[in-house]
Structure 1
Amino acid sequence: MRALIAAATGLALAFALVLTLTALGSPAGRTSPEPLLTTVPAHP
């Protein structure tokens, strides 16, 4: 029974954390204008 209570408590805390982060929204900012390098540079 204790394990069931502990699992339910952990699940409730995780759910509350997800809801809190969702309510806060994503942080303000912008992406980098430079594209990411997707190819390996040629070796000399």
Structure 2
Amino acid sequence: MVSALIQHEWLSKSLFTIYGEVDIESIDKSPKVGLALALKP
């Protein structure tokens, strides 16, 4: 299992996150990918 998470604070009031995960032992399965955007008031 290989995974990665990247977070970037954008304009000091928002946080952008990208996540990916791949199971290298079962290549026939699709990788998981996620995106998130958090806004601060």
Shorter-chain TM-score above 0.5: no
Larger Rg, first or second structure (1 or 2): 1
Give the TM-score of the pair, scaled to structure 1: 0.19
Q: Which is bigger in relative contact order (C-alpha 8 A, separation at least 6)?
A: 2
User: More strand per residue: 1 or 2?
Assistant: 2
Give the TM-score of the pair, scaled to structure 2: 0.19
